[in-house]
Structure 1
Amino acid sequence: MPSRLLARLSALVLAVPLLAGAARAGEDLVYVLNSGDANIQVLDGRTRAEIRRISVLREVHHIVATPDGAQILIGDSGGNEMLFLDAATGEVKRRERISNPYHLAFTPDGKRLVVTSLRRGQVDVYAWDGQALKLEGRVRVGDMPSHLAFRPDSNVAYVTLQGEKNIAAIDLNTREILWKQEVGRDPAGILWHDGKLLVGVMGSNYLSVVNPENHAVEREVVVGRGAHQIFPSPDGSVLYATTRVDSRVVALEPRDLSIRRVYEVPGGPDDLSFAPDGRIWATLRWAQKVGILDLATGEVDTVRVGRSPHGILYRPADAAVAQAQPATPAAAR
């Protein structure tokens, strides 16, 4: 039997006993991607108890919900596979062969999924019809494409290139590179914010603020060593930056990027997800734990998970109900 097929069958066999604890619809679920243990850990968001683990082929890193909130997509970058899960129960619906999916994100209009391939120097652009992916094109973008952000009109993707100190802008319609700009050593997370691009410079201690119109780096915002990712709060009133070396979550004022508060979160906080109760769940990359940060007190509770936890997503039980409600016009907010 070919070794690749044997490995695939072994992974599926290992997954069987782990599926026994399947979640029930109506539970808050927290999905934790243990990249060092080749599994997805599902926790009860309210009790923090483990519900199940799902085996993958090799190495999961990032996670995204579909635009309608019904499914969750998880990239197994080492296994060249995409997993499609039922968001409400954690059930694996299907697995598809995808080339080295590292970071993945839907465009703001929900019509495309863009996937970076850290090891292969490529960015893949897929059309999304609500159920299936169709490859539109592949861009050879440079050394170690990592994280993604988008222009609000969904026509341009911005990608950090960790091996080049650059970010690249890609026209998603033509799949052409529009420009590159150096921002600092090991750029990681990237966010479109108020007409600018904020980039976590992991090889240093700051966020680069880049003007996408003239590609200039306008300023550097110091947040701490190992500046990694930037996450807006659900209501947009705060930006949170993670620093993996100094082990901080830094709250920033969105209007001028001044620091509101610094939270010490030991263990190398990486990805964040927001719970309905206002707490922040953070993967602690170096500690085999997830941290639950109380923003009022600064206290951090922890839950033991697998090795090198990376991506995380808190999915409330009422997410499907909220998704089904009509959006409130921006002018009315």
Structure 2
Amino acid sequence: MITRRTAVSLLPLALFPAQALADTPMPPGAAAPQQLAMVMNSGEATISVIDMTTKQVINTLPMLREPSHWALTPDRKKLYVSDASGNALFIFDPLTAAPMGHIRIADPYQLAYTPDQKYLVVNALRLDYVDIYDATNMQLVKRFKSGKFPSHMDFSPDSRFSFHSMQKSNTLVSIDLATMTERWSVPIGKTPAGVLWHNGKLLICIMGENGIVEADPLTGEITRRQATGEGAHNIFLSTDRSTLYVSNRVGSTLSALDPVSLEVKRDYPIPGGPDDIGIAPDGKIWIALRFNEAVAILDPDTGNFDTITVGRSPHGIFLNTEMQKTGELTAERL
């Protein structure tokens, strides 16, 4: 049985042939890679690997303490999964979910590459740091202590600015990545979480105020508000850019918003505390249910969903079908 105290045995990278296979073009007529979902179970230090076709858990991978979020390296050859309490980034082959080792860094909770791929930015929620790493060698470039509980982040498309929600400071912070200085820190609402750059503005989920706000990226000034549901936690843009999805974790709903007006088009009741999501090629939405040991698979047309049992407190979710897409891939830009 795998538990939070399971000893993790990580073999040298050379012992895993999966990466070499991922680098080799598939010959004509070869079978497509198996469609896999990787679910980060924060409550039991495991990753559940699901066959997306059979909807069965086919493997359980041990972590150290608390896996939460993911980032795909710019060359798409490695998937980093953060283990905040374990002070480590675990590395996996994004096509096969094969373990590829780990690296030690301080408290990686949320992480993302800048659009220009120059930096890997890490929110260290427990230690109250925002850390900027050189993406080429993982050397720490600058550490900011700009608020309490840095949670989610996004960037301006030109990679000049980053934006970070500070859950316990109730602020949004912006950093100038060219000068490595803090631009501003503004009150944004009670317990902010998900952050998304959208149509030249910032959208921020405000968990304590049950909705989202739109803010000016130059000043942080709030320009619009939209109620969604209790505990509005994270926000995602659909693949075709036709819908914004907000996971209302406490109210256990997923809200579908018009991407221009921000008005709620539909609410989907999803018991169990919807958190992060992934969108499959067939349009189904895979949703980690933070308060249940399950993942929901929602048909957004009918509102029907199935569930798959996983580990305790499922948090982040990565679908390897993302690898079929072009352009930048992050947890928020699905």
Range of TM-score over shorter length: 0.7 to 0.9
Shift of 1:209: 1.0
1:86 aligns to 2:93 (yes or no): yes
Pick aligned residue for 1:123 from 126, 130, 140 = 130
CA displacement, residues 189-232 of structure 1 (integer Å, 9 cap, x when unaligned): 01011111111111121101111123211121000110011100
- In the alignment, the residues of structure 1 paired with residue 80 and residue 69 of structure 2 have an alpha-carbon distance, to the nearest angstrom, of 9
DSSP-derived class of the 1:159 partner: strand
Provide the C-alpha distance between the structure 1 equivalents of 2:233 and 2:7, rounded to a whole number of angstroms: 32
**Equivalences for 1:198-237 in 2 at 5 Å?**
198-237=203-242
The residue identity in structure 2 corresponding to 1:162 is Q
| Residues 166-181 of structure 1 aligned to structure 2 (within 5 Å) | 166-181=171-186
2:296 aligned partner: 291
Q: Could you list the runs of 5+ residues in structure 1 that have no partner in the other structure?
A: 1-6, 16-21, 328-333
CA RMSD across the alignment: 2.3
Aligned-partner Cα distance in 2 for 1:260–1:98: 41
Q: TM-score, with normalisation over the residues of structure 2?
A: 0.88
Q: Hey, which bits of structure 1, 4+ residues long, moved more than 4 A?
A: 7-10, 319-323
Alpha-carbon distance in 1 for matches of 2:125, 2:279: 26
Q: What amino acid sits opposite 1:208 in the alignment?
A: V
How far apart, CA to CA, are the structure 1 residues paired with 2:6 and 2:305? 37
1:53 pairs with 2:60: yes
In structure 1, which of residues 142, 146, 149 is the aligned counterpart of residue 151 of structure 2?
146
The reply on whether 1:71 has 2:78 as its aligned counterpart is yes
Rounded to whole Å, the distance in 1 between the matches of 2:324 and 2:83 is: 29
Aligned partner of 1:3 in structure 2 is none
Inter-partner Cα distance in structure 2 for 1:9 and 1:288: 19
Q: Percent identity?
A: 42
How far apart are residue 280 of structure 1 and its match? 0.3
CA distance in 2, matches of 1:11, 1:203: 38
* CA distance, structure 2, for counterparts of residue 152 and residue 180 of structure 1: 20
Aligned residues: 309
Q: Which runs of 5+ in 2 are unaligned?
A: 12-17, 23-32, 329-334
- Aligned AA for 2:180? R
Helix, strand or coil at the partner of 2:55 = coil
Query: Pairwise mapping of residues 313-332 of structure 1 onto structure 2 (< 5 A)?
Result: 313-316=318-321, 320=323, 322-323=325-326
Q: Name the amino acid aligned to 1:96.
A: I
Contact 2:66–2:84, Cα closer than 8 Å, also in 1:
yes
1:11: which partner in 2? 7
SS class of match (1:133): coil
Tell me the residue number matched to 2:26: none
Distance 1:80 1:107 in 2: 21
Superposed displacement of residue 70, structure 1: 2.1
